[in-house]
Amino acid sequence: MRAYISVDLEGMPFIVSPEHLVLKGVLFNEARKIMTKITVFVAETLNKLGFDEVFIADSHGSMVTIDVDNLPDYIYVIRGWPRPMSMVVGIERADVAIFLGYHAKAGISKATFDHTFSSAKVDRIEVNSIEVSEYLFNAYIAGHFGVPVILVAGDKALIEGDVAKYTPWVEKVVFKESLSRYSCISPSLSRILKDLEKSLKNAVEMFKKGNMLPIKSSYPMEIKVRFLSTEMADAAELLPIVERLDGKTIKFMAKDAVDAVKILELILLANPKPQT
């Protein structure tokens, strides 16, 4: 069996400062150690549970956060950005998916670093009239390939929000309870690893019983994006497939979840950074 781990940073325990998030940040090495330790532990546990190969998609920022020194030989690491399907590229190779360090969507109160794909550009994303988090959007892509997400770990606001609402059967581990955008309470790392081990065992058992279901959206998909600035909608509107709905909001149609994420990634790449 093969497992796929998509790992983000903002939903990791103890991560509260912008200095944790960027390569040149003074706390980035601390964040990298936390992210790597948790991710490798999950991969090792999955291997013990019968997964011969584990793909790890390093999915934060420029996507080079995980320390790749001394990894077990059954691990394959996906790094770098931009790349097709962004945070879940290659997920079609796997039997199951695990999402680690995931955070709440933009606009959620008491959620550390709440955002949806780009805190500098995006205010809201809807798929078929449902406002989505990165979790739900990526779960739709996994579901397109028939791959179930069996465990999600991250910010309590996400776990009790989109995860519980749209995929209640998924195993859940809370890494942090956010007090504000830049503050949280986290259990000790040893407690978190114990919770992960227990939840992974439960998740794999449920998967083998056929009780872990992929989540799918209906096709074609209508995608609406509300930007933080009108200039971003100006740029997106240059694509013939994009319809401008108002000053900050655009809409496009995609034949499936894979096309949707590729078009969205292109729009975000092509958009200028805000000038003011």
CB 251 within 8 Å of CB 245: yes
Place of tokens 């500098």: 120
Q: What token pair was written down for 103?
A: 């955070």
- Closest residue by Cα to residue 134 from 268, 39, 253, 15: 268
Alpha-carbon span 35 to 31, nearest angstrom: 6
Cβ distance 113 to 102 under 8 Å? Answer: no
Supply 173's token pair: 């581990």
Calculate the average pLDDT of the chain.
96
Question: 241: part of which helix (H) or strand (E)?
Answer: none
How far apart are the two ends of the chain, measured CA to CA in Å?
50
Q: Which amino acid is at 21?
A: L
Q: Tokens 């990526």, residue?
A: 138
pLDDT above 60 (res 245): yes
Q: What integer is the mean pLDDT of 171-193?
A: 98
In this predicted structure, the answer to whether residue 235 has a pLDDT above a threshold of 90 is: yes
Strands 249-254 and 221-227: antiparallel
Q: What is the pLDDT confidence band of residue 272, given thresholds at 50, 70 and 90? A: low
Give the pLDDT band of residue 270 (cuts 50, 70, 90). Answer: confident
113-152: per-residue pLDDT in tens? 999 999 999 999 999 999 999 999 999 999 999 999 999 9
Half-sphere exposure of 43 (CA within 13 A, CB side): 23
Number of neighbours of residue 119 by Cβ within 10 angstroms: 15
- pLDDT tens-place string over residues 16-45: 999 999 999 999 999 999 999 999 999 999
Beta strands per DSSP E along the chain: 2-7, 53-58, 75-78, 96-102, 122-127, 130-131, 149-155, 171-180, 183-185, 221-227, 243-244, 249-254
- pTM listed for this prediction: 0.96
Q: Rounded distance, CA 33 to CA 15, Å?
A: 11
Domain spans of the chain, in order of start = 2-115+134-208
Question: Rounded mean pLDDT of 231-245?
Answer: 95
Tell me, what's the pLDDT at 276?
Answer: 41
Q: What is the pLDDT of residue 273?
A: 64
- What SS3 class is residue 104? coil
Residue range 59-79: mean pLDDT, rounded:
95
What is the architecture of the domain spanning 2-115+134-208?
3-Layer(aba) Sandwich (3.40)
C-alpha torsion sign, points 157, 191, 99, 216: negative
Exposed, middle or buried, 90 (CB in 10 Å: 0-12/13-18/19+)? middle
Taking phi over 0 as left and psi of -120 to 50 as alpha, with beta for the rest, 229 belongs to beta
User: What single DSSP character describes residue 257?
Assistant: H
pLDDT of residue 274 exceeding 70? no
Closest CA to 264 of 79, 84, 129: 84
